[in-house]
Amino acid sequence: MGSPLLVSCDVVSALCKYNILHTWPLILYAMTNWSYFFEQAARVLVQVLVMGSGIVGRAIFKAYQQALTNASKSGVAQETIQNTVRRGIRPMTEQEAREILGVTEGSSWQEIMQKYNTLFERNASGSFYLQSKIQKAKEYLEAVNVAKGQGSTV
């Protein structure tokens, strides 16, 4: 705690004149005890930061909602979804399946399986996307071979 502050008669008369005599003990306490002042300043600063972050958060949320509303009204959202669906559902062609596995039209089923096993094992610790493309290519060529009646798929 700080030492008591001596107040002159001029200070007391000034406090009486401006009708703030009732607050002078608090002022004197704040002047003698700086830790109280810093505690209050820190409390006010935290309150301002919390209120400000709440206001900014609500503003960002409202802006995001408005952007979604505008996108749905203009048709941009539907167009984006339709384009994504079209690209994702597009079936694999026989040519694409053969390019992925690196085989030709004259390749036997054993050659296709050998290429499949080699590629699948090489990407075992790699990309899941590549493994799924290799798997889909094998499944497609398997269906083509069964449809053409070119032997067993086992």
Q: Which domain holds residue 128?
A: 94-148
Whether the pLDDT of residue 120 is over 80: the answer is: yes
> Is 70 domain-assigned?
no
CA angle, residues 104, 110, 116, in degrees to nearest 5: 70
pLDDT in tens, 28-82: 666 666 677 678 878 888 888 888 888 988 999 888 888 878 777 766 666 666 6
Contacts of residue 99, Cβ cutoff 8 Å, sequence gap at least 6: none
Q: Are 141 and 108 in contact (CB under 8 A)?
A: no
pLDDT of residue 4: 46
pLDDT in tens, 16-30: 555 555 565 666 666
Residue with tokens 């409202």: 62
> Is 108 domain-assigned?
yes
Whether the pLDDT of residue 145 is over 50: the answer is: yes
CA angle, residues 34, 37, 38, in degrees to nearest 5: 90
Number of compact structural domains in the chain:
2
> Is 129 domain-assigned?
yes
